[in-house]
Structure 1
Amino acid sequence: MSSAAFIEPLSVIEFVAQLIGKDVLTRPLSDADRVKTVHHNSYDQDEYAKEFGINISEKLACVDARILPAPWLKYHDNGKEKDCLPRQGNHTKLKHLWQLEGAKERLELVKAKLMEKGSFDDAVMGCDGVFYMATPVIGVVGLTSDPKIWYALSKLLAEKATWEFAKETGMDLITVLPAFVIGPSLPQDLSFTASDVLGLLRGETERFKGYGRMAYVHIDDIALCYIRVYEEPNAHGRYLCSSVVLDNNDLVNMLAKRYPSLPVPERFEQFVRPHYDLDTSKLHSLGFKFKGIEEMFDDCIASLREQGHLDSY
């Protein structure tokens, strides 16, 4: 089960105006504009339409219609909101979830707000286990504006608070501490770290140079690690999830040799950084094996190219 918080999207009229680059408020759409909108939304590739044998034609037709109010939906009988009126949501942002294998049969999205107490009650109702992977980012004006610092601190404080809560309530808790995540990206809109990797592959160094020596892990390994420690009866405590630790210059040397068509920088300016490695023997003791750095970036670059982020390289 997964949950997602919905945000207010653009109105339909604003979306169409941005898509075709025209003022649609003062004059009607042309037939060509309507067809362009259909193509953009990939209606002809819709799996649900195909399942029912519905074909999308470019031939336009006029029909009489009326707008009906949104229907009420029935949620879990034992949830706080047994019935609710659907709110507007950013469905484009969730599209990649419904494209996952088995999503139509096994995926359920439940609206929730991360910082609202009790918001996830319906999402976890009846579950044997919960995988919690989101962390609120905090900040204090005047200390630092670096989002990486606040993100790391929020992770640390969230885990500390969770362990304290588990101790007080007797909750069975295991935490997985992943390294810098590399691999394919499901959504078209890249995450903060994925954008940094894309910049590196395009020859930009400004955002990535601050990482220095970094531990890396394939995104698939993180998912498999969560499953392994959940299913393993003897699993307990904290698990470091990392495949390899590399200095920036070692990383770009590997990337430049493996992907000569990409403008990867030759080297980074050297900063004084502590030399460290990570002990992942606890996870290895469960029989876990990691993918290597080459496979991480092979999958990452293939995904970026497929999504059009590296079209010119």
Structure 2
Amino acid sequence: MSNVVCVTGGSGCIGSWLVHLLLERGYTVRATVKDLNDDSETKHLQGFEGADTRLRIFQIDLLDYNSIVAAVAGCAGVFHLASPCIVDRVQDPQKELLDPAIKGTINVLTAAKEAGVSRVVVTSSISSITPSPKWPSDVIKNEDCWTDIEYCKENQLWYPMSKTLAEKSAWEFAKEKGLDIVVVNPGTVMGPVISPKLNASMIMLVRLLQGCTETYEDFFMGSVHFKDVALAHILVYENKAASGRHLCVEAISHYGDFAAKVAELYPEYNVPRLPRDTQPGLLRAKDASKKLMNLGLKFIPMEQIIQEAVEGLKTKGFI
């Protein structure tokens, strides 16, 4: 059973890439979805090479512990990706973001502990690293940096708050119960989309191409390719020496840098001219994700991420 793993949120943009790469490597995968009867969640997964013999799809509800138990039983490893990602305004933050993120994470970790899982990789986010206005202005943000919960409350930034509280509760659980967990903190994740639905990051790119002038001051810290995020998960799972948090961006950059590159590559679109420094005080860094680089990850550069993302959007008819 050592190569049997569970991927929660397996139908999402990152999850689909992870399931694809795990199957490619010979793993037997249990992918979880919200609705087994929804083709947009299941069909693309069933089309992967190896899926007919080594993929099982389970329907779970993050707030229903028993539904998670069935998916995790008999697995050596768990990749916990399932968590709502909404950066637009929400009506009911507790119900829409906080409960599924925090209680859902604890339910998955509890099921993993009970099932004797050897390692859980938790997908956190740079949203549990930034916004962090009290971080020293002369120090490049790294894995020691945590999002400021009070700042999030004051500014109604419910998504960063949900990711930060979920990750903190995961670390507390691991310490109390003796569960081996390791965390990946991806930036703005983009690239060619396998799943039929776009994630929040790709919607952001579509809006930018349509002329949206939002600068995502409290949300952006750098871009990263779907494939690299999936590879990061596999690297920290397979490398037993990997521990703690892993910032996962091709570089720490400003949204202004990203928008300027999109405008340069795609002059035919109505990309707005944004200020260069859209994230006040954020120090840029080429090698911020040193921990993952030391594990052998070679990040796809921003230019290629944008090109593959935009071409993918065109192919699928999103733009």
User: With structure 1 as the length reference, what TM-score do the two structures score?
Assistant: 0.64
Q: Is the 8 A contact 2:8 2:79 kept in 1?
A: no
Which of residues 305, 308, 313 is equivalent to 2:317? 308
Following superposition, the deviation at residue 256 of structure 1 comes to 1.8
Q: Is the 8 A contact 1:179 1:241 kept in 2?
A: yes
Equivalent residue number for residue 196 of structure 2: 188
Q: Is the 8 A contact 1:215 1:244 kept in 2?
A: yes
Q: Is the 8 A contact 1:4 1:112 kept in 2?
A: no
Does 2:270 align with 1:240?
no
Q: 2:252 aligns to what SS in structure 1?
A: strand
Following superposition, the deviation at residue 89 of structure 1 comes to 2.4
Equivalent residue number for residue 213 of structure 2: 205
Does 2:281 align with 1:281?
no
Unaligned runs of 5+ in 2: 1-5, 12-34, 86-91, 96-152
Does 2:228 align with 1:221?
yes
User: What is the RMSD computed on CA atoms of the aligned residues?
Assistant: 2.8
Following superposition, the deviation at residue 181 of structure 1 comes to 0.7
2:219 & 2:40 partners in 1: Cα distance? Answer: 35
Which of residues 136, 159, 179 is equivalent to 1:151? 159
Q: Is the 8 A contact 1:211 1:248 kept in 2?
A: no
Q: Is the 8 A contact 1:93 1:187 kept in 2?
A: yes
Per-residue Cα deviation, 1:92-131 (whole angstroms, up to 9, x for no partner): 3332222333322322111111112232111111111100
Equivalent residue number for residue 167 of structure 1: 175
2:75 & 2:195 partners in 1: Cα distance? Answer: 26
2:269 & 2:51 partners in 1: Cα distance? Answer: 35
Which of residues 163, 169, 176 is equivalent to 2:184? 176
Following superposition, the deviation at residue 2 of structure 1 comes to 4.0
1:102 & 1:243 partners in 2: Cα distance? Answer: 30
Equivalent residue number for residue 76 of structure 2: 128
Following superposition, the deviation at residue 271 of structure 1 comes to 5.6
Which of residues 243, 265, 270 is equivalent to 1:263? 270
Following superposition, the deviation at residue 241 of structure 1 comes to 0.9
Q: Is the 8 A contact 1:213 1:245 kept in 2?
A: no
2:7 & 2:182 partners in 1: Cα distance? Answer: 19
User: With structure 2 as the length reference, what TM-score do the two structures score?
Assistant: 0.63
Give the counterpart letter for 1:200 in structure 2: L
2:84 & 2:216 partners in 1: Cα distance? Answer: 25
Report how many residues are paired.
Answer: 226
Per-residue Cα deviation, 1:120-179 (whole angstroms, up to 9, x for no partner): 1111111111000123577269x6795xx2121111111111111111111111111111
Does 2:81 align with 1:114?
no
Give the counterpart letter for 1:139 in structure 2: P
Equivalent residue number for residue 302 of structure 2: 293
2:293 & 2:312 partners in 1: Cα distance? Answer: 28
Following superposition, the deviation at residue 211 of structure 1 comes to 5.5
Q: 1:253 aligns to what SS in structure 2?
A: helix
Q: 1:130 aligns to what SS in structure 2?
A: strand
2:302 & 2:63 partners in 1: Cα distance? Answer: 35
1:288 & 1:121 partners in 2: Cα distance? Answer: 32
Larger Rg: 1
Q: 1:240 aligns to what SS in structure 2?
A: strand
Q: Is the 8 A contact 1:213 1:275 kept in 2?
A: no
